């Protein structure tokens, strides 16, 4: 059924290569109709066997808008915080942010990461300090039990803040994979007037998002496709920014 639907959807958009690539990834497959958020109505192409099917021509346009926005952020050397804590997103988020030298959260969102950033920064500083003492051999002057406690502290801090090491100031934007999963992150960003780019599946509220991208947000193939597009845009922005700031010889 899904294969036939993909063929019909592909035929309806003629030779649009981007849309065809999204079909192959499964971007168009939303949730069941009874889980649809009312604000997603305008992004629905059809309903087949109770499944909401996303209009990929609108996804393409919204993705282009998001790419342009993030490209401009990167060109100005702005930090983009990548957030994806569901199992399907964790590794891809870490990999993508790492390739860009950007901060990320792929375990759990710590409340106050944005709204209480000074406190979070102190926790990250503590992690750096403990790691420095450990590598310098300073822990050797403590008892075995005390060293074990320090090591547990390091492990716990790394679990919570490993991806935030590069976040030395509030980010210029957030990229969120799954809104329902990381709604606290979105709400903190809204409160701090930080623009949010996010995949908006049919069960999500796009009105919370500055740059919504109508898309399945569960499938690994979709998450990888979308983050590949975002990474490419950010890389282009960083390259343009480097050219602008390069001193004339």
CA distance 133 to 135: 6
Please check whether residue 249 lies inside any domain of the structure: no
The pLDDT of residue 4 is 56
**Residues 53, 69 within the same domain:** no
**Residues 218, 137 within the same domain:** no
- Domain containing 224 equals 58-115+169-244
Please check whether residue 90 lies inside any domain of the structure: yes
Q: Domain boundary at 41, 57, 73, which?
A: 57
Q: Domain boundary at 126, 151, 168, which?
A: 168
Q: In total, how many domains does the chain have? A: 3
**Residues 44, 62 within the same domain:** no
**Residues 215, 197 within the same domain:** yes
Q: Domain boundary at 153, 168, 183, which?
A: 168
Residues of the chain with pLDDT under 70: 1-15, 245-249
Q: Domain of 191: which CATH number?
A: 3.40.50.10490
The pLDDT of residue 126 is 92
Written in H, E and C, the secondary structure of the chain is CHHHHHHHHHHHCCCCHHHHHHHHHCCCEEEEHHHCCHHHHHHEEEEECCEEEECHHHHHHHHHHHHHHHHHHHHCCCCEEEECCCHHHHHHHHHHHHHHCCCEECCCCCCCCCCCHHHHHHHHHHHHHHHHHHHHCHHHHCCHHHHHHHHHHHHHHHHHHHHHCCCCCCCCEEEECCCCCCHHHHHHHHHCCCCEEEEECCCCCHHHCCEEEECCCCCHHHHHHHHHHHHHHHHHHHHHHHHHHCCCC
Q: Domain of 150: which CATH number?
A: 1.10.287
The pLDDT of residue 249 is 47
Global confidence as pTM? 0.89
Please check whether residue 110 lies inside any domain of the structure: yes
Please check whether residue 201 lies inside any domain of the structure: yes
The pLDDT of residue 10 is 53
168: Cβ contacts below 8 Å, ≥ 6 apart: 121
Q: Give CA separation, 235 vs 70, 154, 229, 247, in Å.
A: 10, 32, 10, 20
90: Cβ contacts below 8 Å, ≥ 6 apart: 84, 106, 107
What does the pLDDT look like over 128-187, one tens digit per residue?
Answer: 898 888 888 877 788 888 888 888 989 999 999 999 999 999 999 999 999 999 999 999
Please check whether residue 18 lies inside any domain of the structure: yes
199, with CB counted inside 10 A (0-12, 13-18, 19+), is buried
């Amino acid at each position: 059924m899904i294969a036939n639907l993909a063929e019909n959807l592909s035929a309806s958009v003629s030779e649009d290569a981007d849309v065809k690539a999204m079909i192959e990834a499964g971007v168009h497959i939303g949730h069941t109709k009874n889980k649809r958020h009312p604000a997603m109505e305008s992004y629905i192409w059809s309903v087949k066997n109770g499944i909401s099917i996303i209009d990929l021509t609108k996804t393409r346009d919204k993705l282009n808008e998001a790419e342009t926005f993030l490209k401009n952020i990167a060109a100005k050397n702005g930090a983009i915080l990548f957030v994806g804590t569901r199992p399907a997103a964790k590794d891809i988020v870490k990999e993508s942010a790492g390739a860009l030298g950007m901060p990320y959260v792929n375990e759990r969102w710590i409340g106050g990461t944005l709204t209480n950033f000074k406190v979070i920064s102190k926790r990250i500083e503590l992690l750096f300090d403990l790691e420095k003492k450990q590598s310098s051999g300073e822990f050797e002057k403590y008892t075995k039990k005390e060293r074990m406690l320090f090591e547990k502290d390091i492990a716990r801090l790394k679990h919570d803040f490993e991806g935030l090491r590069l976040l030395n100031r509030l980010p210029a934007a957030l990229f969120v994979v799954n809104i329902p999963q990381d709604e606290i992150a979105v709400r903190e960003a809204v409160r701090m007037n930080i623009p949010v780019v996010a995949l908006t599946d049919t069960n999500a509220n796009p009105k919370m998002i500055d740059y919504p991208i109508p898309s399945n947000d569960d499938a690994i193939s979709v998450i990888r496709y979308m983050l590949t597009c975002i990474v490419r845009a950010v890389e282009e922005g960083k390259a343009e920014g480097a050219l602008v700031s390069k001193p004339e010889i």
